[in-house]
Structure 1
Amino acid sequence: MIEVRWHGRGGQGAFTAARLLGQAVAIHEHKYVQAFPSFGPERRGAPVLAFTRIDDKKITDRSEVETCDYVVVLDDTLYGENVTKGLKDGGVLVINTTKEASAFPKVGDYQVITIDATALALDILGRPITNVPMLAALAAASDNVSVDSVLAAIDDQLAPRICEKNKKLFVAAYNAVKGDK
């Protein structure tokens, strides 16, 4: 089973990213998926968590993801011990930041990938919405979901008026991370 934990702030779309990943894998790649949020105080800007599980067989565990293969951070100000806690050795931490990966001290044997998803989103969407480029960064880092599956999920899940820009944003972020690997 592949487990992903998403760290974001209310309004950034962490749960939307988890759900898009789930849609892409379940509908377009025919695997079993869970995608669910964990909210504290439900207000814009408050820290939120979202989770995605992917497996070839039915998933019966309904608890929050405690140990994970991937951690995606939509806002680098959230980085801390709670972000890296439970990240498996050999896992990947993907952070939206202007900083280099070396700026994030490691407490385990995992890879750190950084991307300035905010700049990409501002350039393409005109708004600092980082969920789609962070999903792209995860897809590029993990090779657990195809580009075509995610682009189809964007068409399935997002409003038609924002699909094309989000697909362009996804491809730009995906290529940015693939070029850095």
Structure 2
Amino acid sequence: MFEIRIHSRGGQGGVTAARLLALAAIHDGKYATACPFYGAERRGAPIVSFVRIDDKPIKIYSQIKKPDMVIVLDASVMDVVDVLQGLKKGGKVLVNSAHAREFAGFSSKYIDLTGIALRENLVVAGSPILNTPVLGAFAKMEIISVDSAKTAIREMFSDEHNVKAAEAAYQEMTL
């Protein structure tokens, strides 16, 4: 089982990103679950979501304490939350940033998802929405296929800007 924890702020699309990732994995013929964890938080508050992907049915639906991968959609969350807590040895970290970030002992990647969202005009209430661009990054990292990412996005959103944002992230993501 591959377990992913997504750290974001309310209103950025982290919860929807988890749902999209699970849906794309299902389109790839996998089993997947997405589970958000938040209370009465408001826009801008730290939020965490969880995704499990496996080749066989998943019978647990809970928080993930020891993920294989951590996604950080807002780097400022790292000032208040230990995003690496429990990350498995050799785990992967993907940070939304225009600048490289290294995390000792982990495979670290970065991509400017905010820049992509702004270019594609994916903004709600003044905040860039990162849920569809991050799906392109997941596809580039071969967690899901790019075709399944596009299918999942089109099932959830009618605006093709969302697909274009995922395609841009796929192209810009370096491995």
TM-score by length of 2: 0.91
Asked whether the equivalents of residues 92 and 108 of structure 2 are also in contact (C-alpha less than 8 Å), the reply is yes
Distance 1:48 1:176 in 2: 26
Unpaired runs of at least 5, structure 2: none
Instruction: Call closer, same or farther: CA 1:112–1:156 in 2, change over 3 Å.
Output: same
Residue of structure 2 equivalent to 1:166: 162
Count of residues paired in the alignment: 170
**1:61 matched to 2:60:** yes
Report percent identity of matched pairs: 42
Residue of structure 2 equivalent to 1:176: 172
Distance 1:20 1:85 in 2: 24
Residue pairs, 1:25-174, within 5 angstroms: 25-26=25-26, 28-79=27-78, 82-102=82-102, 106-107=103-104, 109-125=105-121, 127=123, 128-141=128-141, 143-158=142-157, 160=158, 162=159, 164-174=160-170
TM-score by length of 1: 0.88
Following TM superposition, by how much is the alpha carbon of 1:138 offset from its aligned partner in structure 2, in angstroms? 2.6
Residue 89 of structure 2 aligns to a residue in which SS? Answer: strand
Which digits, 9 at most, give the CA deviation of each residue in 1:86-116, with x for residues without a partner?
11122211111122224xxx25x21111111
Residue 84 of structure 1 aligns to a residue in which SS? Answer: coil
Asked whether the equivalents of residues 32 and 53 of structure 2 are also in contact (C-alpha less than 8 Å), the reply is yes
Unpaired runs of at least 5, structure 1: none
Distance 1:40 1:138 in 2: 27
Following TM superposition, by how much is the alpha carbon of 1:61 offset from its aligned partner in structure 2, in angstroms? 1.8
